[in-house]
Every structure is written in structure tokens, then in C-alpha cells.
């Protein structure tokens, strides 16, 4: 799994700060405990000396078992004495132990040579928080999706925009709830200003909270990344493409707004086909109807969208215009 170097650098800084904060907090607790129980300082110094001697002795292949046993008994006695002194001062037995956010990796980010799940989750979270989606939809949450902006009056289809959007909202919630079970991807279709990007952000935020690897970009940004890798291949461009192919959920926003060329048609087919073959989910949003998409990208692409994507129609009046009229 590949991440932008700037994301990795920032997350490494976050983990370094965690380690430094934990060390500073331990020193503060030590100072407090030693002031309350002066004898603790001497016990801790003895523990440190015995521990160092025990490590040095056991590292030798010819260590005397009796000497090792004697040091271990001494270590146990000192630990018991420390617990008693802490208890007498009303302090917990682990008060002088360093507290890590993640007990698995000790806030180092790795368990052996494997990336810790906490480190991976932070990479995903920060990659999303620095994405255009998070910047444009900072308050994205299903509970904030206001159906009051959609008319309750039936339209030409006999169904009201509000009813249709209730169904769309339910489909998005189910997509999150059942994400780990697999299933179809989602295709958001409808005019601009009706909540397609907002609901994409709601899904991204919900799934990221569950540890799912989510990547969002506009169609223009995705095709630009694929084009850069094709014509000026570098490790960085390859990493960007790897993210598009390997993430658990890829969100492509505003398909059809980019300048469509033979390359973008080929790239879109490759991307969709690759992810479908690997059973990787997608959300594609577009202002175009399916007939328009077929003219832009070919019948074989739209056939995959129809077959493997659940269609979510967005209808009603532009919410941004409504808010403007209401002075919101």
C-alpha cells in the first residue's frame, strides 16, 4: 500500500510526538512520586542497575545460571518493594511505567517489520484529511444531511425528490454498514448542487472511522495522475497509481467534467475493470445521464457501470441556491 511521501512524513511526526509526550509525562510522574516518597528514587536506581546487569549477563552464552537466578530474584524483590511504596502513597502500580497510545507497537508504528494497524489507520486518516474532499466538506456526516431541502411534491416520475433522496440516503448508509460483506459499487447521478459530493464525504468519513482505506479525487485529478505515470514514470507517480488500484474504496467525483480524450477513455476502462476484477468497491459521481456517459466513454464502460454499480439518483433544486436565497 503506497502513500504520498508528505503523508508518511507527517504521520511519522505524529508518532514521534506521541513518544516524546509519553516520555515527558513519565518524567512528570516520577518527579511527583519521588517528591512524595523519597525512597522510591533509590529503589528505581537499583532496579535500573539490576536490569542492566541482568541484560548483560543473559546476553552471554556462558552465563552462570545461579548468578542469573540471583539477579532475577533481586529484581523481583525490588519490583515488589516499589509496588508497596506506590500503594502506600495511593498511586497505581504502573505509575512509573511509560504509557503508550498503542500497546502493540509502543507508538513506533511497526511490530517487527510489519506496519502496525494504528500506524496504517493514521496514514489513511491523514491522507483523507488532506484530500480535497475533506477540505470541501469539513462537516460531512449522515446526520447533517438535511432532507428538508428536497421537495415533498411528486415530480414528473410520480415520486417526490424527497422520497428519492430518502432512498439514496438509505442506500449510502447500507453501503457503509455492509461494506465488509462486499457487493456492488455506487453510481451517483444527478445535476450539480444536490449532495453527491457531500454523501461521498459522509461515506468516506464513516468508513475511515472503521479502518477502511479510502481514496478520493476528482476525475480530472485521477486521469492526470494516470497520465503523469504513463508519460513520465517515477516512483512517486507509480505510488499514486498504486493507491488508486489497491485502496479498499475509490471515490471518483465529477466524472464527465474533464476533457475526454482517447487516453481518458482507456484509463477509465482500465481502472474500473481492474478494480472490478479484484472485487474492490468504488463510488463514481457524475452530472451526466447514462446516455451521455455512453457517448463520452463507450458502451462497454457504461455496461459495467449498469451491471456492477447500484444507481443512486439525485434530484431536486440546487441546495446552494436555496441556501443563498435563505441567507444561510
User: Are the beta carbons of 155 and 315 closer than 8 angstroms?
Assistant: yes
User: Are the beta carbons of 305 and 271 closer than 8 angstroms?
Assistant: no
**Homologous superfamily assigned to 131-325:** P-loop containing nucleotide triphosphate hydrolases (3.40.50.300)
Per-residue model confidence (pLDDT) at position 235: 79
Question: Where are the domain boundaries for CATH 3.40.50.300 in the chain?
Answer: 131-325
CA distance linking residue 149 with residue 162, whole number of Å: 8
Per-residue model confidence (pLDDT) at position 19: 95
In the chain (328 residues long), the average pLDDT of successive 10-residue segments reads: 75 94 94 93 92 81 79 91 93 92 93 90 81 74 88 85 93 92 91 91 85 85 87 80 87 88 90 91 92 90 91 89 81
SS (HEC) of 158-203 = CCCHHHHHHHHHHHHHHHHHCHHHCCCEEEEECCCCCCHHHHHHHH
pTM assigned to the model = 0.67
169: Cβ–Cβ under 8 A, 6 or more apart, which residues?
A: 142, 145, 147, 199
CA distance linking residue 23 with residue 18, whole number of Å: 9
CA distance linking residue 56 with residue 133, whole number of Å: 54
CA distance linking residue 271 with residue 230, whole number of Å: 14
Per-residue model confidence (pLDDT) at position 156: 79
Amino acid at each position: 500500500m503506497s502513500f504520498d511521501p508528505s503523508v508518511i512524513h507527517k504521520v511519522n511526526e505524529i508518532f514521534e510526538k506521541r513518544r516524546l509526550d509519553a516520555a515527558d509525562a513519565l518524567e512528570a510522574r516520577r518527579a511527583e512520586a519521588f517528591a512524595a516518597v523519597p525512597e522510591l528514587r533509590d529503589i528505581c536506581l537499583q532496579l535500573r542497575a539490576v536490569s542492566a546487569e541482568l541484560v548483560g549477563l543473559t546476553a552471554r552464552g556462558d552465563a552462570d545460571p545461579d548468578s542469573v537466578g540471583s539477579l532475577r530474584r533481586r529484581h523481583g524483590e525490588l519490583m515488589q518493594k516499589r509496588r508497596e511504596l506506590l500503594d502506600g502513597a495511593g498511586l497505581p502500580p504502573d505509575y512509573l511505567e511509560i504509557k503508550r497510545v498503542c500497546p502493540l507497537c509502543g507508538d513506533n508504528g511497526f511490530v517487527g517489520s510489519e506496519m502496525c494497524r494504528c500506524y496504517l489507520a493514521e496514514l489513511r486518516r491523514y491522507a483523507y484529511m488532506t484530500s480535497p474532499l475533506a477540505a470541501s466538506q469539513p462537516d460531512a456526516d449522515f446526520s447533517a444531511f438535511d432532507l428538508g431541502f428536497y421537495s415533498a411534491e411528486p415530480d414528473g416520475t410520480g415520486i417526490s425528490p424527497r422520497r428519492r433522496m430518502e432512498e439514496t440516503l438509505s442506500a449510502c448508509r447500507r453501503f457503509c454498514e455492509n461494506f465488509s460483506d462486499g457487493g456492488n459499487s455506487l453510481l451517483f447521478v444527478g445535476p450539480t448542487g444536490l449532495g453527491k459530493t457531500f454523501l461521498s464525504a459522509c461515506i468516506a468519513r464513516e468508513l475511515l472511522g472503521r479502518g477502511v482505506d479510502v481514496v478520493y479525487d476528482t476525475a480530472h485529478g485521477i486521469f492526470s495522475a494516470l497520465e503523469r505515470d504513463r508519460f513520465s514514470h517515477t516512483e512517486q507517480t507509480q505510488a499514486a497509481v498504486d493507491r488508486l488500484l489497491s485502496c479498499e474504496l475509490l471515490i471518483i467525483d465529477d466524472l464527465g467534467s474533464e476533457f475526454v480524450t482517447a487516453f481518458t477513455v482507456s484509463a477509465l476502462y482500465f481502472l474500473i475493470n481492474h478494480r472490478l476484477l479484484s472485487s474492490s468497491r468504488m463510488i463514481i459521481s457524475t452530472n451526466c445521464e447514462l446516455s451521455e456517459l455512453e457517448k463520452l466513454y463507450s458502451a462497454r464502460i457504461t455496461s459495467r457501470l449498469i451491471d456492477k454499480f447500484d444507481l443512486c439518483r439525485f434530484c431536486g433544486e440546487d441546495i446552494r441556491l436555496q441556501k443563498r436565497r435563505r441567507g444561510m
